[in-house]
Amino acid sequence: MFFVTGKSKPDKLNCRDRRRLLPPDTKTLSRATSASSSPAPRSAAPPRRPPLGSSARSLALQVVVVLNMQKIIKFQLLYPGSKSSPDGVSAAELVATLRKFEVDFLLLAGYLKLVPIELVQAFRRSILNIHPSLLPAFGGKGFYGLKVHEAVIGSGARYSGPTVHFVDEQYDTGHILAQRVVLVLTDDTAEQLAARVLSQEHQVYVEVVTALCEDRIVWRDDGVPLICSRDNSDKLY
């Protein structure tokens, strides 16, 4: 699922002036903007999407545009288009739609398709994803939902936790921006571990999206993204 935000003018990012495209299940994510120094968008309708790991060929993106808290435009985007979903949009149409709303960032949460190269190239360093393991471990094709936690437990790893990373052309290989550590208990089921990791996901994604909204992401010379502390801009983490 995409959570996308946009801004009304191309200069300095400022959540106050942003247009936001809010898909379902953004209660956590919209909390992020409320944690930033600017007013938060209203959270969108509850999620209406196939459960994780479903075989859905296309996912319906219910997109809500909040224009400076004044107006809400709702529309549905079916992506990707295919023979079985002829009214779905192509990658180029998806990019054009997001450009039309002057979108800046796209945030993935439980999105199970490969984001097409057209979108990755159009939104370089502007698409984030949250993955429920400490990447680069337990990431890549086939690693989603409970499968991730089953693999972690089966490996004997003592620690797991969420990773927020920038999205590039492959699954889960983009630059890491934030991680949190969760202890793996010796008698953990995948569901129990998933629940503890998810709780940390909801916290770290809020912190990262808040930093994004407050323009506190900086890029090190070697291409690694860092977050400037809100209280001390000399402190990076």
Quick one: which of 94, 103, 120, 153 contacts ligand LMY7XDAE (CB under 6 A)? 120
Q: List all residues 6 or more positions away from 121 whose beta carbon is below 8 Å from its beta carbon.
A: none
Q: State how far the Cα of 26 lies from the Cα of 45, in Å rounded to an integer.
A: 8
Min dist. Cβ of residue 5 to ligand LMY7XDAE (A):
18
Q: Which positions ≥6 away from 1 have C-beta within 8 Å?
A: 23, 24, 25, 47, 49, 59, 61, 108, 109, 110, 111
> Which residues belong to the active site?
131
The distance of closest approach from Cβ of residue 16 to ligand LMY7XDAE in the complex, given in angstroms and rounded to an integer, is 30
- DSSP character string of 118-167: HHHHHTTT-EEEEESS-TTTT-STT--THHHHHHHHHHT-SEE--EEEE-
Q: Which does 198 bind (CB under 5 to 8 A by kind): ligand GAR, ligand LMY7XDAE, none?
A: ligand GAR
Q: How far apart are CA 98 and CA 93, in angstroms?
A: 9
Q: How far apart are the C-alpha atoms of 91 and 152, rounded to whole Å?
A: 33
Residues 6+ apart with CB under 8 A from 56: 49, 50
DSSP 46: P
Stretch near ligand GAR under the rule CB under 6 A, chosen from 78-86, 140-148, 181-189, 219-227: 140-148
Count residues near ligand GAR (CB under 6 A): 13
From residue 125 to residue 154, the character string flagging contacts with ligand LMY7XDAE as x (rule: CB under 6 A) and all else as - is: ----x-x---------xxxx----------
Query: For residues 175 and 230, which CB has a smaller minimum distance to ligand GAR in the complex?
Result: 175
Shortest Å, Cβ 189 to ligand GAR: 15
Binding mask 97-116 toward ligand GAR (x if CB under 6 A, else -) reads: ------------xx------
Element (H, E) at 190: helix 190-213
Ramachandran angles phi, psi of 92, nearest 5°: -65, -40
Q: Could you tell me if 1 and 49 are in contact, meaning their C-beta atoms sit under 8 angstroms apart?
A: yes
Binds ligand GAR by CB under 6 A, chosen from 22, 59, 134, 148: 148
Nearer to ligand GAR, 130 or 152 (CB): 130
Taking the complex as a whole, the smallest distance from the CB of residue 208 to ligand GAR amounts, in Å, to: 13
Regarding 161 and contact with ligand GAR (CB under 6 A), the answer is no
Q: Residues interacting with ligand GAR, by CB under 6 A?
A: 25, 52, 109-110, 130-132, 143-145, 148, 198, 201
